[in-house]
Amino acid sequence: MKKFLRTVFLVDLIQGLWVTFHYQRPKYRCTEQYPAERPRVAERYRGAPRLNINPENGETLCISCNLCALACPENLIVVTSERNEQTRRKDLTTFIYDTSRCMFCGLCEDACPVDALELTQDFELATYSREGQIWDRQMLEEGPKPTEYKY
């Protein structure tokens, strides 16, 4: 009898509708209005790569050891260097990082012994061409410059 009454008065459906109805309150709103409201990504976020420079003199921290290129599963980092006879060290000539093939696993930044290569919190990596995804040394040092929309 009780079951019959519950069926007739649609108790199961009304209970469910109550759950949806009480989420109508504006304080339960949880959608992020993305371009207007930018997300705060975590500190350890693995986003766009960056090649760090010494902030005092603008020289690169990279010592051209090639460990990142060896650690990369996709072989997308190419480091070239030439030997400096005066300092007896290797000077970085080019550093190419193909972000179109990158899966942001973070193995390159783990491999870097001097913290020169880092995956940063920048996550807007869209470009108009495939060539634009291949980042050279200058791009890696400056970082991406996404358009910020004003509302």
Partner 1 sequence: MPDTTFLDSSELVINMGPQHPSTHGVLRVVLKLDGEKVLGTDCVIGYLHRGVEKIGENRTYQQFAPYVDRMDYCAAVSNGLGYCLAVEKLLNVEATPRAQVVRVILTELNRMASHLIWLGTHALDIGAITPLFYVMREREAILAIYEKYCGARLTTHAFRIGGLQYELYDGFEQEVKAACDLILPKIEEYETLLTGNRIWISRTKGVGILNADDCKAYGVTGPMLRAAGVKWDLRKAQPYSGYEQYDFEIPTGANGDTYDRYLVRMEEMRQAARIVRQAVDKIPVGPIMAKIPKVIKPPVGEVYVSIEAPKGELGYLIVSDGSPQPYRVRVRPPSFVNLQSLDRMARGALIADVVAIIGTIDIVLGEVDR
**At closest approach, how far in Å is the CB of 92 from partner 1?**
23
Cβ neighbourhood burial of 90 (10 Å; 0-12, 13-18, 19+) = middle
Distances (CA, A) of 17 to 6, 29, 40, 54: 15, 18, 34, 59
Q: Does 41 bind partner 1 (CB under 8 A)?
A: yes
Q: Does 19 bind partner 1 (CB under 8 A)?
A: yes
Residue with smaller CB distance to partner 1, 16 or 35:
16
Contact pick of 9, 16, 84, 127 for partner 1 (by CB under 8 A): 16
User: Segment contacting partner 1 (CB under 8 A): 51-59, 83-91, 100-108, 128-136?
Assistant: 100-108
User: Segment contacting partner 1 (CB under 8 A): 52-60, 66-74, 86-94, 141-149?
Assistant: 66-74
- Own/partner pairs, 73-78, CB within 8 angstroms, 24+ separation: 73/103, 73/105, 73/107, 74/98, 74/101, 74/102, 74/103, 76/101, 76/102, 77/108
Give the whole-angstrom CA distance, residue 8 versus residue 115: 68
22 DSSP assignment: H
**At closest approach, how far in Å is the CB of 80 from partner 1?**
22
Q: Does 50 bind partner 1 (CB under 8 A)?
A: no
Residues forming contacts to partner 1 in the complex (CB under 8 A) are 7, 12-13, 15-16, 19-20, 23, 30, 41-46, 71-73, 103-107, 110, 119
